[in-house]
Amino acid sequence: MISDVVIVGIAKENLKRGFRNFDVDSIDPLTERKIHSLIKARLWTREDRSRLNLIKKGTPVVIKGRLETDEEYGLYVVAESIYLCC
């Protein structure tokens, strides 16, 4: 079980119920190919409008949290800490 995750990405559009998409790029260590992912996150308070949803679209963000599942969105990150980059 994965209990701790950190994502570094770019804030994208807000979704329903306090969820938000984040663009995350990484490199596959075996093939050295770039992998582009769209990861959903939601603040731990589960509010419809939270600090996570108020971030300006396009802002670089670091999120520390844990994984959970949702019936509508599937696997997502529960954001416990949010750090805004320059």
pLDDT digits (tens, 9 = 90+) for 16-25: 999 999 999 9
Backbone phi, psi, residue 16, to 5°: -70, 160
Cα–Cα distance, 41 to 38 (Å, whole number):
10
pLDDT of residue 18: 95
Of the pLDDT bands very low, low, confident and very high (cuts 50, 70, 90), residue 56 is very high
Does the pTM exceed 0.85?
Answer: yes
pLDDT of residue 68: 94
Nearest-5° Cα angle at 66, 55 to 29 = 90
Cα–Cα distance, 66 to 1 (Å, whole number):
10
Are the CB atoms for 39 and 9 separated by under 8 Å? yes
Over residues 27-43, mean pLDDT: 94
